[in-house]
Chains A and B, each alone.
Chain A
Amino acid sequence: MTDTVARTREKKEKLEDILVVDCDVHVHESPGELAPYCEMPWRVALENIADVQEFYLDIPGFSPGTTVYEAKFPSGQEGTRMVHTAEQMRKELDEIHVDIGVLFPDHFLKIPVISQIDYAVALAHAYNAWLLDKWCRPEQGLLGCILASPHDPVDAAREIRKYAKEPGMVGVFLPCAGLERLWGHRQYDPIFEAAEEADLPVLLHSVTVIHPVFPFNTQQFETEFGRHICSHTFSMMANLVHMITTGVPVRYPDLKVAVTEAGISWVPFLMHKMDKEFIERRREVPFLTEKPSHYLKKMFFATQPVEEPENLKDLVTMLELYDGEDNTIFASDWPHHDFDHPSKVHQIPFSSEVRRKVFGENALRLFNIDANGNRLNI
């Protein structure tokens, strides 16, 4: 293993000289935008709400949020940036030194909370078609993820196969907020099977919701402060634990799994908690031929929202605790309220080699693309 800590004499590469692959940026989809891409009769449903006032990531019948429950908190922070076009995205990513951005939705982070199965499936179809048409621009470093709606896994698998060879699609997005059954449940096997077959990684992404399923009864928090922390991190821990304890990594050994928007400090925690449990309860997970941390370490972890300890060297140690030099990937979460400018990750005293891996090289391996955003597996 190489040194993770920078040697003091080594000259630090400038951010603009490093390949930056941003594994999590968000496009803004709206009912009106998607309507032309949506099949009947659900197109009419979208047209019906095309003019509804949009709160931030919160539209009734599209992405039900917290607005109905609580006050718009008195604050000077707007935090409602949105990116409406591929051109705008390219321009803004250039401004933060990002070479390649991997696209996720805004509203459909919450798609699991939609209760009408056929409607949710139609929304996923419309989003995937719209994303490919309006946003995926490999030559401009804009690459998409196929939205896999958990409502109908067989249909989601069909969507993955439909776009499997598209140069503009490099992954499969697994929404994690408001899931009725955690990822790992056998009902989702068709999705993992299709993703593995297509050599597309699956990327887990959560968001804050108030919904009566895991992660927890978030209505109990009186602050977004509390809710936001738990919604992302606990959701990732819950989903990964379930995936590992249902044998996803052994049943789909070539499936690449990545986690976004949960930071990284919980990874060593989860690794040790699972290995500890394995001592007593291996017989419940007899398909695991290695200790659980072995499988966790094969997954990829996106930095954002990166922890900001007083001593940034603590993050170097954090990475070492989960052998993270080859599986940590940069993400900004642009344009969301809690986005990380890459300069923060650039400040972490990594060695040049590890810095380059985290900023770009690891992501190229995850997505199987070259530094120009071309897929190497089609």
Chain B
Amino acid sequence: MPQKAKKGREEHVVGDVSDFPEGTHKVVKAGRREIGVFNINGEFYGLPNVCPHQTGPLCEGKPALGTLVANAEGDWKFEWVHDGEIVACPWHGLEYHIPTGGCIAYPNVNLRCYEVVAEDGKVKVRL
């Protein structure tokens, strides 16, 4: 948004805090953007609702889950990590870490993270 730098950041109220219980997420409109808003343990996060892989509706999938890692320190046993912090695109399953926007399979891919705050009972997305 070209006017952003001059006018400061746009703020969009996207709902009441009660619309986003902990452990849930919802796709909202902020201007022309579709943003997935996630409530993870009371912290709010926002990711674009577009998967850079093939433009799938990234944030319209199931509730956030964790994912698996395995490494030498853990004797290559599967470990469950990032519980409740992973969204998988409903189209092809590509996974992202919600708090950082990082793609799990392809660490060079990073999503834009939108600032989402809860203020006065409202959830606001700042662009």
Contacts and interface: CB of A to CB of B under 8 A. Distances in A.
Interface of A: 247, 250-251, 278-284, 286-287, 289, 291
21 contacts: A250-B72, A251-B72, A251-B76, A279-B53, A279-B94, A279-B105, A279-B106, A281-B93, A282-B95, A282-B104, A282-B105, A283-B95, A286-B67, A286-B69, A286-B70, A286-B78, A287-B70, A287-B71, A289-B71, A291-B105, A291-B106
A281 to B, nearest CB: 7
B92 A280 contact: yes
A281 B89 CA distance: 12
A46 B92 CA distance: 55
Contacts, number: 37
Given A247-B70, A287-B70, A291-B106, A280 B76 contact: no
Interface of B: 53, 67-72, 76, 78, 92-95, 104-106
A282 B94 CA distance: 8
A286 B68 contact: yes
Nearest to B66: A283
Given A286-B78, A291-B106, A280 B93 contact: yes
Nearest to B75: A251
A287 B53 CA distance: 22
A283 B86 CA distance: 11
B56 to A, nearest CB: 11
Minimum-distance CB pairs A-B, first 5: A282-B105, A286-B68, A287-B70, A280-B93, A286-B69
Nearest to B51: A279
A291 B67 CA distance: 17
Given A251-B76, A279-B94, 14 more contacts: A247-B70, A250-B72, A250-B76, A278-B105, A280-B93, A280-B94, A281-B93, A282-B105, A283-B67, A284-B68, A286-B69, A286-B70, A287-B69, A287-B76
B66 to A, nearest CB: 10
A282 B106 CA distance: 10
Contacts of A283: 67-68, 95, 104
Contacts of A280: 92-94
A251 B76 CA distance: 8
A291 B105 CA distance: 7
A189 to B, nearest CB: 10
A279 B106 CA distance: 8
A373 B105 CA distance: 41
Nearest to B81: A286
Contacts of B93: 279-281
Nearest to A253: B72
Nearest to B105: A282
